[in-house]
Structure formats: C-alpha cells, structure tokens
Structure 1
Amino acid sequence: MSVKLPKVAVLLAAYNGMQWIEEQLVSILGQTGVDVTVYISVDPSADGTESWCKQYAESFSSVVVLPSAGVFGGASRNFFRLVRDVDFQHCDFVAFADQDDIWRPDKLQRATQVLLDGSFDAYSSNVTAFWSDGRTHILNKAQPQVEWDFLFEAAGPGCTYVMTKELVEVIRSSMLTNWAQLQKVSLHDWYCYAFARSHGYRWCIDPVSSMEYRQHERNQVGANKGLSPLIARYKTIHDGWWFSQVQLIARLVGVDSDPFVKKWLKLHPLQLLGLSFSARSCRRRLRDKFFFFFICWATALIGKKVQ
C-alpha cells in the first residue's frame, strides 16, 4: 500500500540566478518524505534565468514557472506575487525558497512532521551560513519567542519557512486587501511572521540547521555575523528604513490600536525612550535586546528619518 506523503508547494523567487539555481533545485527536488512541487517566479533577468527555468520545467513535471508579471525590483514583491498567484488547492504546506542555497535532504520532512502534530502552524529553523572560501557558521535564530518580537524581527531566514496551507490562505486574503501598501514591505519573511504571531498562530523556530545558506556579494539579506553587518544594520535604522518598516507592518497586521503599540508607534523621542525599557519583550536574542535598548536611545537623542 502506498503511503500518502505531505504535499508541499515550494515558492521560489528568482533573479539573475544562473550561477546557483540548478544546484538549489536539485536539492529541493531531492527532498525525502514529501511530495514537492516547485513554483518559480522570475524577476526579469539579464543572465538567461527565465529561459533556463522554462527549459528546466519542461524536463520536470514538478517544476512550474509562472508567467512573466513585469519587474518586481526585489525578492519581497516577487514572493508576494507567488503567494497571490499560486493555487494551493492540492497542497498541504507552503515553503519559501531562495535561488542560491542548498537544502538538506530532510529539510521539508522535518518541518512537515512538526506541523503535522498539530502544535504549530508555521516553522522556521537555524541555518548554516557558508562562504566560497570554505568558512561556515551556524546562524542561531531559535531563542525563545517573546511577546512583541514579531514587530521588530523575522523568525529567521525566510528560506526556512514552511507554513500550513490554511495559514497561507489567511495571509493571502489579508495581502489582497492591503495589496498597494504591502508593496512597501521590504522583507516578506518579517511580514509573514508578524501576521502569523499577531493573529494567534503558533510558530516553531527549530534549533536544528536545515540548509546551507550561501553568502555572496549579491545577498539581499545575509548573515548577521561580525562588525560590518552590525554597522550596516545601524545605518538602516538611522536612515529610517527599519523604524518605518516597523510602523508599516504594525498597521498592516492590525496591531496599531493595541495599547502597547499605540504608546510608541509615532516614534517620538520620548516614546522611543519609553520603548527602550521594553527591550526584553521586543527581541529574542540577549545581544539584540541590548542593541535594541541602545538603538532606541540613540535614535531618540541623535534623530532619525522616519517616513
């Protein structure tokens, strides 16, 4: 008797991905213990990614390339397009995939097992960052979740996300309602985590690394390791991007009227000083709690460019 395997729709956003996309697709199609269909949306590319993906899909019935939908200009809008346009009727779970990573063979099997036991609605995990010179580093995102972390950070790299079809359908419905504003969201994984947590869905962040997370000069968001990424992240905060995203996501997921959020949402200097004392409930990692406290004070005293 054949065993019914969990059906997973893998959403892959591609752009100028010829250097690595085949290796990634091989790792996705080689997943054990699940039935996978890969849906690819290609942002118009200069290296032949679009034509290559179409040829690849002709050889593999479990790979579907979506029709061209114009220029997205970033992975977030491309992923939102995938969530909007893919038909999830015949799948059980939905996963996100980047074009340049390497998945471990049991990545989806482990994730779906966690979700099938009914305790969680969504899953993410630690990853192993790796560089072309052979260096590797485990990125630990699995600290205990706190009350408001979802407004200030994602649940780890979006390429580890696996969600139940039911949750994704609810996310899609909300996305369609707020489609124009959603295009201003820079990180789809942050938004999805925030939506799920703010609406009472349960999220598992697995301490086990599920994939090799390739690091290169074109990473939109790479490994937060060392001093340089910390400086770059401070710059995005000082330039106003991070706080503007916090405000936008809070409004999109519908928590802007919560008494806690209302106390600081306008991000006036005194509000930021007050927010700093809630650092323990706003970030998961101890180091990030201290950084959050410092950023709130620095932004209040030095100034910021909040949209």
Structure 2
Amino acid sequence: MPVRSPKVAVLLAAYNGMQWIEEQLDSILNQSGVDVAVYISVDRSTDGTQAWCAAYAVDHPCVKLLPEAGKFGGASRNFFRLMRDVDFEPYDFVAFSDQDDVWHVEKLQRAITAIQYRQVEAYSSNVTAFWPDGKTSLLDKAQPQVAWDFLFEAAGPGCTYVFNKQFSQTLKKSMLNHWQELQKVSLHDWYFYAYARSHGFRWHIDPQPTMEYRQHENNQVGANTGLSSLVSRYKTIHDGWWFAQVRMITLLVGQGDDPFVKGWLQLRRRQLMKLSFSAWKCRRRVRDKIFFFCICWATALLGNKHS
C-alpha cells in the first residue's frame, strides 16, 4: 500500500495582493511530500484580487476561495475568519500563509517532520527577509523560549506557523467562545502563540529559515530590523497600543489570575517598575530583554498617551 502524504489546510489571507499572490500560490502548490489544500479569504480589495483568485481556483481544484465577507481592516480578523470557516476535519495539519512571500519547497514537510519527531503541537521557523533592492536579512526568532515570553511577543512571523489537528481544533473552539473579544486583537500570530503556551501545548521554533519574507511599503508589520523599526515600535508602546494588547491577550488566554501576572496586570507605575526586573523571562532575545526593561521604566515614568 502506498504511504499517504500528510494532508495540510493552508489558510491564506489576502488584500490587494495582485502584485505577488501568484508567486506565493505557486510556491505553496509546489510543496514536496504533502497533500495541500489552500483556502483564501480576501479582505475587500480594489485591485481585482477577489476575481483573480476565483479564476485561479477554477484552474486549481485544490484552491478554495471563501465567499466575500466584507471589510476586515487587518490581517488578524481575516485569519480569524479563516480559522472559523474552514473545516479542519479532513486534514492532518493547518498552516498559515501571507499573500506575498515565497515558500521553500520543503517548508511544510520540514514543519511536519519537526512536529512528529519532537512531539509538539505547533511549529514556527526563522525566515529570510528580502527587499526590492536585493538586500536580505535572517530574522532570528529561535532563541530559547522563556517562562512568560508568550504574553509579550509572538513565536515569529505567523506565515511560518503550522499546527497539528488537535491543537487547531482546540484553538478554534476557544476562539468561537470568545469571538467578540477576539476582534480587538491586532496580531493573530501573537494570540495563537499565547494560547498554545498558556494551555500547555508544546511549540518548536526552528532556527532554519523556511521561506523568503517579502518586505515592501504595504507590510502590516514587517521585519523588525534597524533603528527605524525600533523607533516605530517605541511609538506603538508610547501610544498605549502595545501594553493594551498585552493585557487583552493575557486575559483572553486565561492568565489573569496567575500570581506573577496579577503583580503587573493593572500596569500601574510601581507594577511596571517591578515588571522590568523580570525582563529576562518576558522576552527571548537579549536585545529585546534590554528594550523591555527600558520600556517598562519609560512607561512608568513618562506614561503613555492613553494612561
């Protein structure tokens, strides 16, 4: 009897993606050692993405275009819609895709091998960011996981995430139970990682890059490299967005009653000062631990626009 290839549902969120989506889809359909079905949800676009995807799906039976569902206003709500509306029952694994990257041919096969060999439920990997001028940069997110990193950062780009069926179905059930609150979460990849870690699911972050991560002016988040990126991230913290997301995700994943969390959850001045001294267990990368320490003190002393 021939060995059955693992069946993978790839959830692709698109928005004004005509410039790059065909190259991305080709790289997904060219994956080795897996049986792929791609589900596309298009945020209301102005460049013909919906019509193009409909035509592409006619020519590629393994590609399914979900019905139009109005304006999402961001990738997170679009991915939440995909999680809600796609039936995972026929599949062994669920993966996530942006519209503008290029996957290595063995991306999914490598992820599935790691999930099975390491006996984990979820996987993500490093990526190689690339720019129109030919510049490239390894985005290294594979530092050892620490006690509370999941409340303060994602496991890396969500387009590298691969989940087994058990975790996908458990996550979906929880999402449906908190659907309205979830619509305020801005970063789906951060929320998925936080849910997994807070509920005892095991996660492997692969140091090997498995895809080319395209950088352009329309990236919703993009690569965290250089001084300009650091300044941009400080602005989101000073505006109050980041700590508001921390608190919201912490409560959504049920960590509000933990003694460590209760010590800083109200984000008062003294609580932030105290939290700063736990930086080593709140972020994975050394640079981010230092930045976290400084941000806690800056927010405690200077406040933010909405405090």
Give the equivalent residue in structure 2 for 1:176: 176
Give the equivalent residue in structure 2 for 1:94: 94
Deviations 1:170-203 (A, max 9, x none): 1111111111110000000000000000000000
1:264 aligns with 2:261: no
Q: Give the aligned length.
A: 307
CA distance in 1, matches of 2:194, 2:102: 26
Give the equivalent residue in structure 2 for 1:145: 145
Give the equivalent residue in structure 1 for 2:196: 196
1:226 aligns with 2:226: yes
Bigger Cα displacement from structure 2, 110-119 vs 203-212: 110-119
Give the equivalent residue in structure 2 for 1:298: 298
1:251 match: secondary structure = helix
Deviations 1:128-167 (A, max 9, x none): 0000110100000000000000000000000000001110
Give the equivalent residue in structure 1 for 2:120: 120
TM-score, L = length of structure 1: 0.99
Give the equivalent residue in structure 2 for 1:30: 30
1:283 match: secondary structure = coil
CA distance in 2, matches of 1:280, 1:7: 39
- Listed as ranges, the gaps of 5+ residues in structure 2 are none
1:69 match: secondary structure = coil
Give the equivalent residue in structure 1 for 2:4: 4
TM-score, L = length of structure 2: 0.99
1:85 aligns with 2:85: yes
- Cα offset for 1:243? 0.1
CA distance in 2, matches of 1:44, 1:225: 30
State the Cα RMSD in Å.
0.8
- Cα offset for 1:306? 4.9
CA distance in 2, matches of 1:306, 1:92: 44
The answer to whether the 8 A contact 1:93-1:163 is kept is yes
- Cα offset for 1:119? 1.6
Paired amino acid for 2:241:
W
How does 1:60-79 map onto structure 2 within 5 Å? Answer: 60-79=60-79
2:126 match: secondary structure = strand
Paired amino acid for 2:239:
D
CA distance in 2, matches of 1:43, 1:302: 38
The answer to whether the 8 A contact 1:244-1:306 is kept is no
The answer to whether the 8 A contact 1:243-1:306 is kept is no
- Cα offset for 1:211? 0.2
Paired amino acid for 1:277:
F
CA distance in 2, matches of 1:259, 1:7: 41
2:273 match: secondary structure = helix
CA distance in 1, matches of 2:67, 2:178: 23
Change in CA separation of 1:12 and 1:280 when aligned onto 2, cut-off 3 Å: same
CA distance in 2, matches of 1:14, 1:256: 34
2:191 match: secondary structure = helix
% same residue: 68
Paired amino acid for 2:24:
Q
Paired amino acid for 1:237:
I
- Cα offset for 1:2? 2.0
How does 1:212-291 map onto structure 2 within 5 Å? Answer: 212-291=212-291
Deviations 1:71-97 (A, max 9, x none): 101000000000000001100000000
- Cα offset for 1:118? 5.4
2:210 match: secondary structure = strand
Paired amino acid for 1:128:
T
Deviations 1:15-34 (A, max 9, x none): 00000000000000000011
Paired amino acid for 2:82:
L
- Listed as ranges, the gaps of 5+ residues in structure 1 are none
CA distance in 2, matches of 1:163, 1:118: 13
CA distance in 1, matches of 2:118, 2:301: 46
CA distance in 2, matches of 1:59, 1:66: 16
Give the equivalent residue in structure 1 for 2:207: 207
